[in-house]
Structure 1
């Protein structure tokens, strides 16, 4: 896989950027664990462009209030410490100040929330508060939940990964349920039957073209799965962004999470492009989690946050990235 550098094709990129100044490119998001928190943060912060979200094993927006201690308690194993009114108030105040897009953009969006009954890392009662948060913040939002699968912590598949009850890397658990397919159906409608993961359709691109990844705690490597048709006709293929969880990045697992979690099989036969942004391990973030408590700064959950800004920049240039995957 060759790293794609859009900076090498300045004329095409310039044209794309002019177009994006007029029309923002919509996309959907999903993620597991810290990636579930990041998917939710992107949905709340950039609701004018994020059209739907699937949140797997993650608590509500603003759960940590910028505190590492709360990450280890309220946001994982002690829902009694979650201050839901504070989360709703924070979102409304951010919107009033222009730090995030207007809350009204969330009306009628499709949201999918999943939690396994046997999750030992982020308890189902914590994830229940994510449902409560969305319901309070945007009462007309279109929410689907799945809370009845006896899965431990991780991304759920039919057959790939560890046994359904297992807790540990790569945090992909085989529970007889194709979570990626269910999410695709929820966000995009009934898909064409899935194909097989095709290594030749998975590409690496350079995340550092879109911001200071070092300061943001992100890798230079990002990945995109796009079949041949979507690489030739990216404007006809919507973008879905999936965020890995802690201990699931390329730096930690290589391509294991991307290859086992199931989205590639659906992208192979359907008109959708999957982007897999990558966080990076550091002293402040030893497990390579996405920032939902402030290790990149106090604005981690709003549009000006280092990670949200880079991710948004990448999504708004996905047409260019996809056209030049080689």
Structure 2
């Protein structure tokens, strides 16, 4: 069945935007993200820990940090770590778990987590990332949490092949730091991966797919979601090999609406995917009046359920995830 759906997906893409296909995938999933995408990756991991077994967080803070407040999001959760109470955030998470709004927190014990925050990051300071580390440490053993705080990176995705100068801000928020963040993250989450060289090309296909069908109550744009997303499929996965799924969330000002496919094409994941049989799903957020920079919802602009498995964005991306697995 998955072979038939896969064929339809690639035939459809010949005319442009396609229907997302299904593939021969492992049952477990990992996620990562930068900035607002880092917060989203953390939310997705916490909410769906029964399925999501690892997360890589680039310049992000702890779960439910903003408490549904955009002012808190732009202050405490970016540059004022002393104002963040991890104990209070744990308490909220326990309440959400006890009421079935997120999966049991005990699932996190089997997870691995990678946390990166550059030493020159002036947008989200390292103290906030350390609060995330403290949050995860309540549930995950120290050996399964890897932190990287010693790369002199500004706010952006660190690569070894593309982007602006490492310690400076650039419009794409991708920094050439002689550090392959995508590989280091995925290698920690899975172990034993082959590392691409800095000159490696991309041999698979980066496809545009329709996101609109994953939002049932209103158009995707109502929830701050683009009508289309990207998926990268290595040749081996196209041909039916058993592959693994990783979901990568872009940051603010990094979605298709703002920079086209630059994050999906140049963040470094695709070369790792080619060598190690990963499919990379790149869902896309977009701007709204309450969200002019096209950030993922980690402060409540799409509704109060945003950090739970009932949140509109989390539900939509979960449906995309299930489609790739032939379950939706």
Q: 2:221 matched to 1:214? A: yes
SS in 2 for 1:316: helix
Q: Which residue of 1 aligns with 2:68?
A: 66
Q: Which residue of 1 aligns with 2:121?
A: 119
Of the structure 1 ranges 225-234 and 245-254, higher mean CA displacement relative to structure 2 is found in 225-234
Of the structure 1 ranges 204-213 and 112-121, higher mean CA displacement relative to structure 2 is found in 204-213
Within the candidate set 204, 209, 213, 1:205 is matched to 209
Aligned length: 308
TM-superposition CA deviations, 1:161-196 (whole Å, max 9, x none): 000111131011111111111112111222234273
TM-superposition CA deviations, 1:272-297 (whole Å, max 9, x none): 10000000012111100000000000
Of the structure 1 ranges 30-39 and 214-223, higher mean CA displacement relative to structure 2 is found in 214-223
TM-superposition CA deviations, 1:39-92 (whole Å, max 9, x none): 000000000000100001001001000111101111101111112111100111
Q: Which residue of 2 aligns with 1:283?
A: 289
Kindly indicate whether the alpha-carbon contact (under 8 Å) linking 2:109 and 2:139 is maintained by their aligned counterparts in 1: no
> Post-superposition shift, 1:199?
7.1
Q: Which residue of 2 aligns with 1:324?
A: none
Within the candidate set 88, 91, 101, 2:90 is matched to 88
Distance 2:142 2:161 in 1: 35
Distance 2:308 2:152 in 1: 34
Distance 1:139 1:240 in 2: 22
TM-superposition CA deviations, 1:111-158 (whole Å, max 9, x none): 000010110000011111000011124457721111111111010011
Kindly indicate whether the alpha-carbon contact (under 8 Å) linking 2:35 and 2:58 is maintained by their aligned counterparts in 1: yes
Kindly indicate whether the alpha-carbon contact (under 8 Å) linking 1:249 and 1:288 is maintained by their aligned counterparts in 2: yes
Kindly indicate whether the alpha-carbon contact (under 8 Å) linking 1:109 and 1:141 is maintained by their aligned counterparts in 2: no
SS in 1 for 2:115: strand
Kindly indicate whether the alpha-carbon contact (under 8 Å) linking 2:35 and 2:59 is maintained by their aligned counterparts in 1: yes
Q: Which residue of 2 aligns with 1:3?
A: 17
Q: 2:318 matched to 1:312? A: yes
Distance 2:47 2:123 in 1: 26
Query: What is the aligned-residue RMSD (CA, Å)?
Result: 2.2
Q: Which residue of 2 aligns with 1:166?
A: 168
Structure 1: 5+ residue stretches without partners: 322-326
Q: 2:185 matched to 1:183? A: yes
Kindly indicate whether the alpha-carbon contact (under 8 Å) linking 1:88 and 1:137 is maintained by their aligned counterparts in 2: no
> Post-superposition shift, 1:159?
3.0
Alignment CA distance shift 1:141-1:108 (3 Å)? farther
Kindly indicate whether the alpha-carbon contact (under 8 Å) linking 1:25 and 1:316 is maintained by their aligned counterparts in 2: no
Distance 1:161 1:229 in 2: 28
Distance 2:18 2:52 in 1: 24
Q: 2:134 matched to 1:132? A: yes
Distance 1:226 1:200 in 2: 6
Distance 1:291 1:141 in 2: 30
Question: TM-score scaled by structure 1?
Answer: 0.89
Distance 1:44 1:266 in 2: 25
Q: Which residue of 2 aligns with 1:47?
A: 49
Kindly indicate whether the alpha-carbon contact (under 8 Å) linking 1:73 and 1:81 is maintained by their aligned counterparts in 2: no
Within the candidate set 237, 244, 259, 2:243 is matched to 237
Q: Which residue of 2 aligns with 1:157?
A: 159
Q: Which residue of 1 aligns with 2:9?
A: none
Distance 1:94 1:319 in 2: 27
> Post-superposition shift, 1:252?
0.3
Q: Which residue of 2 aligns with 1:57?
A: 59
